[in-house]
Structure 1
């Protein structure tokens, strides 16, 4: 009760303090009058199309209550009962990767990596500080700063920290990530450099889950700390770091000088995206920024990635493990691998068409990767060469056709290859009229992730030659204004997975996966609805287990108060999935595997929230799992890892300029 009173007091003082500032604004989704425009982009890794420019949603209230990086309108993950720990997506999606595929990373949402690091365009110094806390000593802290140092030179930093003790014994997460990025473009705009350094460090206590699910489901023990867990001395340490340098040399004329100020709006994501070659920097003399959508260049990319994984347990004889191979007194399983890559790319285009910068665009490149893998007993080194090519053609804005192909030569992914074709009708953003239709067909032949091929530790050991998996995927999607719907179909031939003993296995024959999904973001006056739902089916549910139906719906009511000094949004969010045999978690592998012991799902998770915005600040107050205990205690998403009980969360995000 005292904690609840303290939270409300802090909340009230914060609101009152903010209200003392000057006021103004017109609508919830507009930039505050006390806000400067800050843009960002991601550096594409291999294929064009990932480097669009977006405006930061630093004053948007819709979705602000989703403070967990692994949670969102269309992010549906089965989590290990505490924020910052491993999770398993409940929606099947094939992820292709161009680097060393060691293991299915079940913590990508927390990582800062080359694909998601933001390069900022801020016309004045910009900073954001965010902090939230809640039940179970849950704390999240983040800092963002971006500054234009000189004409053509910018620097930025992102820091993220997640620390949560959790409600059960040995459930603590301690995650920290930092990324420093810089960009430089010469005065004549012929030469440009993008560079970043990143460091991720995750330290997890591993309890192996509770020993008796029935004790939780029957609620015979209300003190969660007194429920016994299967591991008492196990920990996981994950370190990922590295840097990347992209160097560009542009040829031909600079289109920015000929055409400016084209823009489009990505309504589903709540961000503003500029069109090709229109970065608006010409409106501010002395400011010069890298143009992520400019073509006609040669690029060299150097990347270094370092990974270190450590699993320890001072009590291997606890009965949790099926095997002990090396040491019965202590488990110390370390895996280290690093990779150097050099990539050369040419990109050029001709003509001009509505909806894209060039009527015909070609990108071609080659990548060399040198990798080293080692554990306590073995060191292996690999070399890979990967040529790749991309081409797109825009037929007068009526349609845009794209194709890409790649082939990898060298261990441990020798012979990996892929080919894909995409079609967009029409080629330009037609969301305000009839909408857009997208279709794609892709075929990948891939060796399984390296952990399925080779692993040697105190409790697991194998060396396999499974051969390639063949993944055929077809997708059709329609998008108009605030609505999106689609159909996906996959055929997985030779699919490799972890069986019920957490050992690698290869499926006989093929597995077919079908999916229908819909996404909506609709506002009618003061009432809003954001909803996502998916139906999916796997032809062999004994190998690939998915909930038939999963989704999340959020209803909001927004209003401006105190002469538009304060914007308030309140609402409820509901997440639900049908019952299925969700995969179990194996801490020693940091991976999920099949189980047939317990079904999870068929339980609604309801959150109630209030979001506020006053000038530069946003605040949220969320009652997580509002219905806890009202419809039973079967709220388990990962077997033996109960979800948290009802709890209050409070958070604030504050922007600073100059």
Structure 2
């Protein structure tokens, strides 16, 4: 009941904020005229080219003058994105498995996840505890900025299952402009998954404020956000046969419901609290030039467009992270875990503080006919402080060890963003001092766009070579159950080449790539066997360790995406093939597939758009990474106790409805639960939820 009142309060708060913002806008209009209310209808980008609003705005859904973008976390460069009015596949917008089911996760909403497609995984961050929560944790490059004529609000609500064991999520997004250059906004993301299985609840509350100023000579983007993630850990179910062969567990007399299945752990929680501040701004030197545009057949409009020549850039990023591992059952700790370094203490903590400054000078592309590319030089300095709990002989006292690190690096970027035929970006960085000295990376991206048979054929290329220092928590970690100091880890050398061919008219996208990794560093399940008096193995006590493979590992990936249409019938498909040369160290499924068969049509003069269909997710059997509740990370399985998962399709049946500015879906999730061998695990010993009804609602407001 309290959560229902909380959601109602959040809805009221968003509506109230929107109304107050509208009053503020009216006041600004009265004081300063209409120019204070939003955008020029023909907005120009940084290079003096008009923004193609038709590419990012559906005029039947949202008003002209609303557009969105993201910024990169190094220089604050802008990338325009479509405004969130997505109708297609809306039923998958809150799916932990991703839009095409490419993620492994623990079953419950908000639980940690890991992409099965290796090329889609992000590099581990210095604070890797929140990496598996990318479903809801936003990095600076994930935050959406919006510029709008009138206040824009989006409210979304998702619900699945019942009131005692179901899941809920409420999201709100609000953006407003004080004038055509200065904008503000906030977002709220509240997630609560009670959990159909015992001791697996999730309770997250994330939110943030953002602001942007985009002038001719001065640009600024600011973000402040907070993540509060609390997750109960159950260690997986006690015996997989409760899912795969339920009748064997009670001599055929009983079929267990999900909440009756015993789990390995209880009274254990991971709690991550983080605060982030991000500021990127630049001052531009340049000149104004006249630009003429045809208003109609008889008249031409002349406008003054600013052309930047040189930019001075500064980016500041501050991260404060705090993690608590909470465990109250001492008897359980003694029987399940191999080590208890902190004795009977119920809580261990780790903290991280990071302050990073980047300064740069950019010579902008296109200020004269000889400047065919932009050139940026930069200098970065990062200070890091990690706190870890240590042991002491004095009962009730703990020592806090602080590890202070710094890293100084230099680099440069060469880029071409203008024009329609060819674009590229090449960035290099070298750490010259500090903990990461000798670390370097060279990354290149490019796209070639050709007209062929009345269609645009796009070829994207992505390549890099990286020599990376393993992140801090691979080198040092101290906790209640895991402990390591790896001072001799070598740097990780990675080389990748990837290409993607897109044919929009045919609905075809082909992607392929290869990567070589030397000194691959990873987490491994290092559990030791427990034997009875006769020497028989009766189980394993849990432990984990960091491993480094000194040889080379090759990964090959090929993926085909295809969309087909016959009348109102549509079929969207995706097939991925992967091959890892070291499956025991870097396990990947050879085959992953997704299919979505649906009808799409309109009613009431096409005002109401409807999609009805079913989709299926599938991947071949493999020894998928296990999950460690102690560190909230995925790690390779114990080689003496491995199990395969996969080769089980997961089918959902759904209906999407889109009426003007409102989207709604209803879904029967996992409709094939209980069929076949019922091997529905996405991580060893963690079954996904059984069959349930889910629905979602998203509503956009523009006043």
Q: What range describes the TM-score normalised by the shorter chain of this pair?
A: 0.7 to 0.9
1:539 aligns with 2:581: yes
TM-superposed CA distance for 1:55, in Å, is 2.7
Q: Which residue in 2 is equivalent to 1:441?
A: 463
TM-superposed CA distance for 1:558, in Å, is 1.0
Change (3 A) 1:130 1:401: closer
Deviations 1:539-581 (A, max 9, x none): 1111110100112121221111123232111111110000001
Where 1:413 maps in the other structure, the secondary structure is coil
Give the Cα separation in 2 of the matches to 1:258 and 1:445: 46
Whether the 8 Å contact between 1:312 and 1:330 is mirrored in structure 2 is no
Q: Which runs of 5+ in 1 are unaligned?
A: 1-28, 262-282
1:242 to 266, 276, 286: 276
Residue range with higher mean Cα deviation, 239-248 or 89-98: 89-98
2:509 to 484, 489, 496: 484
Give the Cα separation in 2 of the matches to 1:295 and 1:61: 41
Give the Cα separation in 2 of the matches to 1:305 and 1:395: 34
Change (3 A) 1:30 1:343: closer
1:622 aligns with 2:648: no
Deviations 1:144-197 (A, max 9, x none): 1111123422111111111111111111111121111011245xx211221111
Give the Cα separation in 1 of the matches to 2:127 and 2:402: 17
Q: Which runs of 5+ in 2 are unaligned?
A: 1-55, 248-254, 295-300, 390-399, 527-543
Change (3 A) 1:378 1:632: same
2:221 to 194, 198, 207: 194
Whether the 8 Å contact between 1:333 and 1:458 is mirrored in structure 2 is yes
**1:329-478 equivalence runs, <5 A:** 329-351=344-366, 359-376=372-389, 377-392=400-415, 399-426=422-449, 433=455, 435-464=457-486, 465-478=488-501
RCO higher in structure (CA 8 A, sep ≥6): 1
Change (3 A) 1:99 1:431: farther
1:500 aligns with 2:542: no
Give the Cα separation in 2 of the matches to 1:57 and 1:301: 27
TM-superposed CA distance for 1:249, in Å, is 0.7
**1:14-413 equivalence runs, <5 A:** 31=58, 33=60, 35-37=62-64, 38-46=66-74, 51-58=78-85, 60-68=86-94, 70-74=96-100, 76-93=102-119, 100=126, 102=128, 105-135=131-161, 136-186=165-215, 189-220=216-247, 221-253=255-287, 258=291, 296-318=310-332, 319-327=335-343, 329-351=344-366, 359-376=372-389, 377-392=400-415, 399-413=422-436
Give the Cα separation in 2 of the matches to 1:352 and 1:485: 36
Whether the 8 Å contact between 1:103 and 1:451 is mirrored in structure 2 is no
Whether the 8 Å contact between 2:468 and 2:493 is mirrored in structure 1 is yes
Change (3 A) 1:126 1:259: farther
Give the Cα separation in 1 of the matches to 2:511 and 2:682: 26
Change (3 A) 1:495 1:34: closer
TM-superposed CA distance for 1:258, in Å, is 3.1
Give the Cα separation in 2 of the matches to 1:302 and 1:429: 42
Matched residues, number: 595
Where 2:653 maps in the other structure, the secondary structure is strand
TM-superposed CA distance for 1:519, in Å, is 2.1
TM superposition score normalised by structure 2:
0.79
Where 2:89 maps in the other structure, the secondary structure is coil
Give the Cα separation in 2 of the matches to 1:41 and 1:183: 11
